[in-house]
Structure 1
Amino acid sequence: MVKSGSLFEAEQIILKGVLELGQVIMQNFLESLDRSLKSQTPANYQVINKQPRTLNFIFGPVTFQRRYYQAGTKKREFYLDQQLKIKPRRRLSPHYLMMMAKIAQTTTIRNTADILNLVFDSGITADSVMHAVHELGN
C-alpha cells in the first residue's frame, strides 16, 4: 500500500514502481530469450562467456546478460542481438526511437528531449535526440 500525504505523491510513487517493474520484466524477458536461443544456435557455435548490455527503453534503462559466441575460428557474435536485430553500440530501443521520431516531427529537437525527460525521466539530451532522428531519417 502506498503511504503518501497527497494524491500527487501517490501517483509519483506508483508511476515509479510501474516503470521499475517494466525494467525488471524486460530484463527477465531478454535473459530468458537468451537462454532459449542457446538450444537453437548452430552446432559450431561455442559460448565464450556472458556479457552485459544496457538498452534504454521508455520505462528506463535495462541491463541484461547475454551469451557471447564464437563460430569457427574468427566469427564472434551475440546471438541474442542478432536475433532481435539490435545494432552494435545502439543504446535506445526501437520503440523508444519511434516515439522520439514521432514527437520530433511536431516540435523542436530540444522540446522533444524535454518531453521525453518529463514523461519518462529518461535523461536524454537534445544532442542524442538529434543523432537518433537523423539516423532514423537515413
Structure 2
Amino acid sequence: METILTEMIELIKNSTDGITAERRLVAYFSEWISEITGEALECMDDALAEEYKKMGYKIEKRDTRTIQFLFGKVNFKRRRMKKAEEKALYPLDKEMGFLKGEAFSPLLLRNIAEVASGTVLRKTEQAVSLLTPFSISHTKVKSVLDKVGSLQKNYTENRLLDINQVEKPKHKKKVPFLFIEGDGLMYKATKKKRGEIHRIQIAEGVEKNGKRTRLIGAHYFSSTESAADAWTLVQNYLFLHYDLSNTVVIS
C-alpha cells in the first residue's frame, strides 16, 4: 500500500494541472487493476480445471486471451479442455460469459449497447472515449449493438417466447396496480438505414426515498425485431409471475 501511495503522489506532483493528474491516475489504476484481474482469472482457471478433471475432462492446451473490461484490458491464460464425445471448451470463458471471438466483456457489451440505444452512434463513441480508459469507433459501436441485439433475439426465440421452458415461480404475485409503458428507440445503423429497439417496462408503483423516487418491482423487456416480440415477452412474464384477477393495469 505504501508503494502505491508513493507512486500516486509522484504522478500528481509531476502533473501540470488537476486534469492531467486525474488522467494519469486513471491510467495507473487501470493498469494495476488489469494486472491483478488477470492473476485472479488464472487462479479461477486453475480451480475450474481441477473440477472439470473430476468430470472426465482432459486438458488439450493452455493459451492466452485478451478481454477489454470497463476498467482496462486484461491478458490471461486459460485451459481448453475436452471430454470424450463432447465438444472442447474453455471452462473459464464459460464461467465468465466471454463470447467466442469477442474482445469485450459481457458488461462492457451491455453498457455500450444501452448507451447506443438512446443516442446516435458517434455520441456513444464519444461517451466511451471520455468515460473509460479506451476508445471505440462508431462502426464498432454498431457492431456491438448488432451483436447484443442478435443475442437478445436468440434468447427470445429459444427460451422466453416459449413459456413452457421458463422456470415457473411457486406463487404468483397479487398487486393492486400494475403500470406498463412502451416506447421505441431509433438509432442510425448506416447512412441510409435506421434501426429500432422496442422497449417496454412494467412496474408495480413508485416509492420515495428522500427526494428521490424509484420504481417498485420494475422489469424491462426489449426487442430489435418488432414491437410484437417485445409484447410477447411482457405477456409471458405477466402470465408466469402475476395473478391479475384483482389488479388495475394501466398501460
> What TM-score does the superposition give when structure 1 sets the normalisation length?
0.88
Q: Which runs of 5+ in 1 are unaligned?
A: none
Name the structure 2 match of 1:58: 70
Name the structure 2 match of 1:22: 33
Separation in structure 1 between the aligned mates of residue 99 and residue 131 of structure 2, nearest angstrom: 26
Name the structure 1 match of 2:178: none
One-letter amino acid of the counterpart of residue 78, structure 2: R
Aligned length: 138
Q: Counterparts of 1:46-125 in structure 2 under 5 Å?
A: 46-72=58-84, 75-125=87-137
Structure of greater relative contact order (alpha carbons < 8 Å, 6+ residues apart): 1
Separation in structure 2 between the aligned mates of residue 20 and residue 108 of structure 1, nearest angstrom: 30
Q: Which runs of 5+ in 2 are unaligned?
A: 1-8, 151-251
- Normalized per residue, the structure richer in helix is 1
Cα RMSD, aligned residues only: 1.7
Measure how far apart 1:6 and its partner are: 2.4
Question: Which structure's CA Rg is the greater one?
Answer: 2
> What TM-score does the superposition give when structure 2 sets the normalisation length?
0.51
Separation in structure 2 between the aligned mates of residue 8 and residue 125 of structure 1, nearest angstrom: 24
Identity %: 25
Name the structure 2 match of 1:36: 47
Q: Any idea what SS the aligned residue of 2:51 has?
A: coil
Separation in structure 1 between the aligned mates of residue 99 and residue 26 of structure 2, nearest angstrom: 30
Separation in structure 2 between the aligned mates of residue 43 and residue 135 of structure 1, nearest angstrom: 33
From 140, 150, 154, the counterpart of 1:128? 140
Measure how far apart 1:73 and its partner are: 5.7
